[in-house]
Amino acid sequence: MKVSQNWLKSLVDINTTPDDLSEKLSIGGFEVESLIDCSSNVKGIVLGKVLSVLKHENSDKLSICSVDIGGPKSLQIICGANNVKPNIYVYVATIGAHLSAINLTIKKSEIRGVMSEGMICSLEELGMEDKSEGIAIINEEIALKHKLGTSGALLLDLNDYIFDLAITANRPDGMSVVGIAREISALLETKLTFPRLKTRYQINVFKNFELCTEAISKNCLYSITHIDSVNGKELSPQWLKDRLDKSGIKSLNLLVDITNYILLEQGQPLHAFDTAKLSNLIGRDVLPNDFSVRKARDNENLLCLNGENYELNQNITIVACDDKPVAIAGVIGGLETSVNEDTSSIYLEGAVFNPVTIRKSSKEIGIRTESSSRYEKGISYKNTLDSVTRAINILEDYFNISNTIINTSIELDKTKKLISLRRKRIHEILGPLIIKNEDFDVNDQIKKRNLSDTEITSKLKLIGCNLTNKEYGWDVEVIPNRSQDLLREIDLIEEIARLVGYDMFDLNLPNPIKPGKLSSSQTALRKLKSGFIDIGFNEVLSYSLVSESSNNLIKISNPLLLETSCLRNNIWQEHIRICNQNINSGLDYCWIFEVGNIFHNKPDLSQEELLNGAIYGINKFEKWFGSSKDNHLNYYEARGKLREALTLLNLNIEDKPTDSIDFLHPGRSARLFTEGNEIGYFGEIHPKLITEKKALKKMYLFSLKVTKITDAGTRKNKWIPVYKQYPTVPKMERDINFIFNKKFLVSEIISQIKKSGKKLLEDINLIDVYDDDDFGEEYISYTFRLSYRDPEKTLLDSDIVNIHKKIIKMIEEKFNTNLRD
């Protein structure tokens, strides 16, 4: 939002410098992105009078001019313009002046043997016009009001500053000059003078408008006003052109400029339709009830003011006349019904649309306008009819308008909406003010007190609030243009603190201050991350929004892009993409992990935190360079990396082969379990992903459920180290060898052995695996080493013989096998 300081000065007293005002606005919440000195382009430009013009002896096109700029002697200036002549007033660039429009610094120079002491300028050279024919000649009446040598900035009304403000979504009042003026009045505590409505017009509540309930919902309004006896050829006065130009809007004609002026001044978008063009469009005279607001239909189109012909659809809200599209509601008007030089009668539209529908329409056609940006932030419908009245008041200054009736869809609700503001709550939230007594030389005496009632009410009155005294405090009525952000008691308290100054209040820290600390689960997760990083993994962060690739994804109701229209239900696809990107970049390994959420829509909407990762290639950190041509880890090596990363949590994880995960290799994948609960999976990607070019090389994927793994890792018996006395007696070892069916898992066999030898059995290790065709395809030989120990004494063979026999018998019965010799 760009606004001129001179315009602001017509509404509010400004008693400070532009730089200081910029700082106050920024601290107050309206960030000033840039402060532009309008006179910077015309520094060194002064009013001059051409006294004489002589032909240059050495040029057919140049003239030697004598120019008076109010100094002790006139200047000799060489000029090549055809329209230069004696006794005219001109803009003179003196020596040292820089013309940024043509990037020229004026110097005393010799031109074809004659000295030139300046330059007579055109408006193009001053940056005031795109193209000029000859030098600028100043109107004699204007020139005679000033002394020769007067600054060109004063003549061109450029003694001004432009504030370029960044308006946040919660302060739509900042999208109007009156809103910014009120803010300045509150910050500087100066007088505020708003333009008054000179004439009020008849209001007709017309309930037969056909209005889309989504676009014209609660707290919305649609109005249309017929205005005759206007003239499209009428140009705007200079003051209006100047204000529009400094706000970044080009002047077209008076009718259009007034709608843009109200947009800037009041923050209320208006649109003018040419009555004759509307009549031609529908084939008869237009009536107010011909206007409607509806959703566009597929295959409709509209040629708009920017020259673009937009294809419409049901996501776009339009204004229609006799059901024919004439504007995209709140965004841009149609070209075929726009005001031009031949316009003599208009229909003036003033409305407040639902911000959501405007945002959808704007996004659908891919443009954002001054109007749509205001509607999207939200404006009050209580200001709309006054803004229409203000526009007609200005039109009456230039045209002979009569019998004006404003047709509106609803009658304004005059019920006062009050917010209860408690004195006690203000003091609880803000705390005391710090009052420094600076009369002391050594140590300033600091006093503290709560805000007084006078200070509270004065600050709220500065932003236009009306207050009614109550026993508990006040009932506060908020003005319409602040009704979007001042909704609750806490909002008013925040405004009081902002206007008083946050730095004026005492610090209110907890006493004593208790340092924060990580929970056991948070610490476990950090340990887990450190475990991966320590062995060579890189942590990545991928976007949780993805494109719609299946019906199982949760759709976002108002996405910015189609590529980010849904919540992801997995992370592994993005990790494959990252590995592919690294492979394409020439890297021969990629070990990554990520902690992130996935989202489920069945059976209920839910999210789940996972630790996912991918392993491709051999990390160079771990190998001699060029030691092997094979750059791939086998399944067990890759699974070993995951086991190594998890050692910090002291978890016993069991792998159970699976072929039910469709993106993993059916013979090289496993589900992971701990404490009997499934916590994730590990496996090689399915070969079909490589065949389909979704993955470029063989890689391994893993996933861990963060909540389950941290819960298991933080149980007291695992989280808190328990130290055991080092054994003082030797252990006794026995090896057993069986031929097992391959369907039995080693982990299952070890588990059964542990159950059978609980008392003296200390440890079990698989020490040999032997596969032979003589066993048959379905059988394999496992050799286990069993360690026995009694902490109280040295064991004898007789002490373990019964337990050992029991274990052998259990294995033979349970797994249908026999002990091998």
Q: Which residues pair with 731 in a beta bridge?
A: none
The per-residue pLDDT for range 362-399, each reduced to its tens digit, is 999 999 999 999 999 989 999 999 999 999 999 999 99
- Decide if 429 contacts 493 (C-beta within 8 A): yes
Give the mean pLDDT of 635-649. 92
Cβ–Cβ < 8 Å for 412, 219: no
**Residue 442's pLDDT is what?**
45
Residue 775: pLDDT band by 50, 70, 90 thresholds? confident
CA–CA dist 150, 45 (Å, integer) = 9
- 709-712 contacts at long range (C-beta below 8 A, 24 or more positions apart): 709/524, 709/528, 709/611, 709/649, 709/651, 709/674, 709/679, 709/680, 710/520, 710/521, 710/524, 710/525, 710/528, 711/521, 712/649, 712/651, 712/674, 712/675, 712/677, 712/679
**Residue 624: which pLDDT band, with cuts at 50, 70 and 90?**
low
Q: How far is CA 67 from the centre of its chain?
A: 56
Nearest Cα neighbor of 263 from 158, 364, 145, 348 is: 348
Residues in the chain: 821
371: part of which helix (H) or strand (E)?
Answer: helix 370-377
Strand partners, 468: 475
Mean pLDDT for 406-416 is 88
Which pLDDT value is given to residue 275? 96
- 60-95 pLDDT tens trace: 889 999 999 999 999 999 999 999 999 999 999 999
- 212, 218 contact by CB (below 8 A): no
* Statement: residue 625 has pLDDT above 80: no
pLDDT at 551 over 90: no
The tokens of 662 are what? 């469709």
Q: pTM score, two decimals?
A: 0.70
Give the pLDDT of residue 543.
93
Cis peptide before 512 (omega within 30 of 0): yes
Q: Which residues of 207-216 are buried (b: 16+ CB within 10 A; e: fewer)?
A: eebebbebbb
Confidence check: pLDDT of 413 > 50:
yes
Check pLDDT > 70 for residue 439.
no
- Tell me the per-residue pLDDT of 286-322, one tens digit each, with 9 for 90 and over: 999 999 999 999 989 999 999 999 999 999 999 999 9
At 445 the pLDDT is 65
Spatial CB neighbours of 687, under 8 Å, sequence gap ≥ 6: 665
Is residue 604 very low, low, confident or very high in pLDDT (cuts 50, 70, 90)?
A: confident
For residue 182, the 8-state DSSP code is: H
Residue 557 pLDDT exceeds 90: no
Q: What percent of the chain has pLDDT over 70?
A: 97
Give tens-digit pLDDT for 3-53: 999 999 999 999 999 999 999 999 888 999 999 988 888 899 999 999 999
pLDDT, average across residues 111-116: 90
**Cα–Cα distance list, 439 to 61, 443, 445 (Å):** 74, 9, 8
Residues 552 and 547: their CA atoms lie apart, in Å, by 12
pLDDT at 627: 52
Sign of the dihedral defined by the CA atoms of residues 626, 632, 636, 637, in that order: positive
**Secondary structure letter of residue 764 according to DSSP:** E
Residue 664, beta-bridge partner list: 685
- Mean pLDDT for 716-738 is 86
Q: Is the pLDDT reported for residue 623 higher than 80?
A: no
Residue 709 CB neighbour total at 10 angstroms? 25
Section 730-744 average pLDDT: 92
Structure confidence by residue, pLDDT tens digits, 199-255:
999 999 988 889 999 999 988 999 999 999 999 999 999 899 999 999 999 999 999
The per-residue pLDDT for 786 is: 94
Whether the pLDDT of residue 440 is over 70: the answer is no
Give the Cα separation of 43 and 5 in Å (integer). 19
As a whole number of angstroms, the distance between CA 731 and CA 699 comes to 43
d(CA 304, CA 137): 38
The pLDDT score that the predictor gives to residue 116 is 93
- Mean pLDDT, residues 427-431 taken together: 92
pLDDT at 149: 93
CA 536 to chain centre: 35
Q: What is the mean pLDDT of residues 680-686?
A: 96
Hey, what are 80's tokens? 């090549």
The mean pLDDT value of the chain amounts to: 90
CA distance 353 to 356: 9
